[in-house]
Amino acid sequence: MPPARTMVLVKSPLKLSVKTTRSCSSCSCGNSNPFGFFTLPDDVLLLIIGFANVKEILTLRKTSKRLYSMTKLRWVWSNAMKRHIIDKGLPVPAADGIKQPSVSAVDLESRIVHAAKFHENWYSDRPTPRRTIIFRDGHLGSVSQVLFLPGRDGQYLVTVARKMITCWEVPLDGSDAYRLAEWRCEPELTIEKVVVNEDATSTATMACICGHSETMYAELNVLTLDTFHGRLMPRSVLRSTRNIAFPLHCMRGDWVAFGEPLLIWHMSTVNPIRTRNLTDETKVLAAKFIGDYLIVVRQSSVQVLGYNQIDGVGNPLIPGHSAGLAYLAKEAVIVSRQPADGASWPSEPVSVVMRCTDDGFDTIRQYDLPPNPKAQLPLKSASPLPDQYGYPCLFPLHYTRALGVAPSATNLMVGQNGKGMWMETRNVTTSRRTVYPARCLVGFDVTRNGARLACGAMEGESNDLRVSKNELYARRSDMSEILCKSQEQKERNARIIAQSPDLSLEASHTPNPDMPSQ
């Protein structure tokens, strides 16, 4: 009997199936069909493999020695990196190094497989943590913030614990994390918040805001990481008061945004600059530097401001534009990938994900700001423009997507790759069918889908907001925490009912939720 042979049947460029057949003794090729899959030349096979995803490439490798050697080629994984990782916006370990031609095929493959498995685990029915890191700084208090430093291959991690900032190196090979550098504030001060520099090429690493516990004194410190000597060194200090310096919003390059009302500060200057007033002075929920602009999300509007061109008295030259929101926002995050070198705005839509409350119902709403193809960039004049076509992005008439969440949802956060999470209370079922309440981390992902979005007289592309099937992490809650949350919810509902208008109005008088406020 002829020996068993594994064959690969091509049903379509995107669907491959494996079939076991018997070899033909009369054929020197060893295949039962002389016109089968393995008779194709290598360049055609490589084109077919290019349509397979990462998991299918690894499966093809197990079918024959020829496919095993072909799936080891660098071209296969370079194509997979672009098609299945970069185009989908998935995070890649040590992403800065993949652009170098010296990266081997084995190293490239390991990073792609890691990114694909992380993405698959993020959306699995039961996400499981791959690694756990415990920070033991009990004498300084609990850790209040955990941040990753951009441009360090994802190996540098920052923790904030009341009076000390610690930088850790977490090797990608899975070895234990070790302390790299630390910085302590003055004994009478407390670290309130830390933001990392989104520009990985800048010498400034992070900015932190420190406040006095008994007075109005506050400090804004800019720190630089010195890996050679293992320390965080102060670069610039701005001394002010709490009512001016708090809160700290974002940092990119030599620019820092902070305060209420919003101020922007260049580290080479002494005095910060107040942003242009756009009539909305509600609370700032999120801010982010994108190219030559600063996006500001307030409770009732989204603003796009210019910041890097100022006149002789310190006022920004680039005018700002604002779009009202139909619902009052409680929290917000901004999802954007930085534009290419020399560009003033990214070629992909910028998404704003916010948690809103309307008549006691909590929702997560997604607003997309697609790039404006008719934008006049860069703007050099402060003269107002007749419409939004002169600005870098288009403002939609309504939200892209809305989904209901529990009233306990809070702590909305997102990373640079578009993956984020929020915290809410859920009833979790164990393997023994027991149910208990727990504080859970619910994951989401913002990816590009190319759907058309109406923005006045023009159209633009939108992003897709996808929520994980189950919680990423769950911590069991005791009854005291549940009763406390329940009491807070009852008090909030009572305030909403007391402040709401008469609910017996006719439906024709109810405002349209899709129309923005003027």
The tens digit of pLDDT for each residue in 39-96 reads 888 888 888 888 888 989 999 899 889 899 999 998 999 888 888 887 777 777 666 6
Instruction: Please indicate, yes or no, whether residues 48 and 140 belong to a single structural domain of this protein.
Output: no
Instruction: Please indicate, yes or no, whether residues 190 and 168 belong to a single structural domain of this protein.
Output: yes
Instruction: Please indicate, yes or no, whether residues 111 and 231 belong to a single structural domain of this protein.
Output: no
Expressed as residue numbers, the domain containing 77 is: 4-122
Q: Give residue 122's pLDDT.
A: 81
Instruction: Please indicate, yes or no, whether residues 146 and 70 belong to a single structural domain of this protein.
Output: no
With tokens 């919680």, the residue in question is: 471
Q: Give residue 487's pLDDT.
A: 54
Q: Give residue 412's pLDDT.
A: 92
Would you state the structure tokens that stand for residue 202, as one six-digit string? 């800048």
Is residue 512 in a domain? no
Would you state the structure tokens that stand for residue 313, as one six-digit string? 């008295």
Please answer whether residues 233 and 224 qualify as being in contact, where contact means their C-beta atoms are separated by less than 8 angstroms: yes
Instruction: Please indicate, yes or no, whether residues 118 and 139 belong to a single structural domain of this protein.
Output: no
Calculate the CA dihedral of residues 278, 279, 282, 287 and round it to 10 degrees: 0
Domain boundary among 272, 305, 326: 272
Is residue 28 in a domain? yes
Domain boundary among 229, 251, 272: 272
Q: Is 77 helix (H, G, I), strand (E, B) or coil?
A: helix
Q: Give residue 221's pLDDT.
A: 93
Q: What is the CATH number of the domain that holds 170?
A: 2.130.10.10
Q: Give residue 112's pLDDT.
A: 87
Is residue 301 in a domain? no
Give the contacts of 243 (CB within 8 A, at least 6 positions apart). 216, 260
CB atoms within 10 A of CB 320: 18
Domain boundary among 239, 272, 305: 272
CA-to-CA distance for 174 and 471, rounded, in angstroms? 25
Q: Give residue 287's pLDDT.
A: 93
Q: Give residue 416's pLDDT.
A: 80
Q: How many independent structural domains does the chain possess?
A: 2
Q: For 124-246, where are the E strands, in sequence order?
A: 145-148, 156-161, 164-169, 178-184, 189-196, 206-212, 217-226, 231-241
Residue numbers in the chain where pLDDT is lower than 50: 1-30, 138-139, 377-389, 496-497, 499-518
Please answer whether residues 309 and 317 qualify as being in contact, where contact means their C-beta atoms are separated by less than 8 angstroms: yes
Instruction: Please indicate, yes or no, whether residues 144 and 194 belong to a single structural domain of this protein.
Output: yes
Please name the amino acid found at residue 240: S
Residue percentage of the chain with pLDDT more than 70: 73
Q: Give residue 99's pLDDT.
A: 63
Output the CA–CA distances (angstroms, integers) from residue 260 to 329, 356, 441, in the order listed: 17, 21, 30
Q: Give residue 381's pLDDT.
A: 47
Output the CA–CA distances (angstroms, integers) from residue 76 to 38, 61, 68, 111, in the order listed: 18, 12, 12, 13
Instruction: Please indicate, yes or no, whether residues 113 and 160 belong to a single structural domain of this protein.
Output: no
